[in-house]
Amino acid sequence: MKNDAKYRDSERGSAGVKFIIAVVVIFLVAHAGYNYVPVAYEAESMKTEMQSAVLQGMALPGKLSPADNVKARILKAAQQNGTPADALIDVKQAGNSITAHVAYTKRVNILPFGIYKYDYHFDHTATPTGFLLKE
């Protein structure tokens, strides 16, 4: 029985190779998540800020310009959320409704050393909903 084990050279050493492959795969997934998750989080935060800016702009009392107020809030939110400087920010007022549109593309390094870069496209239009639009 002990003689059979010494002649099986092709079955030896595979555990180390599998371990290295597993560590490399875990590293690549962790690297991709480390770079992608903050960009996706900033985009979702930007969507939330846009929605709240549009709603608060609709509820402004007095003679303040709601479109200018919404645009100022969205520009401030864009600066806080890492939005690129070349982002398209468009605020329109149609009747008693305000819509805000923001679009940009951000490059995300998925694989290390710039092997693969993903273009994260953000394109969101915020419109007010709820009791503010009821007439």
Query: Pairing between strand 117-126 and 88-94?
Result: unpaired
* Predicted local distance difference test score (pLDDT) of residue 11: 67
- Taking the CA of residue 53 as centre, how many other CA atoms within 13 Å lie in the half-sphere pointing to its CB? 26
3-state secondary structure 15-52: HHHHHHHHHHHHHHHHHHHHHHHHHHHHHHHHHHHHHH
* Predicted local distance difference test score (pLDDT) of residue 85: 92
For the chain, 135 residues long, give each residue's pLDDT as a single digit of tens. 555 656 666 666 678 889 999 999 999 999 999 999 999 999 999 999 999 999 888 887 767 788 899 999 999 999 999 999 999 999 998 877 889 999 999 999 999 998 999 999 999 999 987 765 655
DSSP calls for 89-131: EEEEEETTEEEEEEEEEEEEE-SGGGS-EEEEEEEEEE---SG
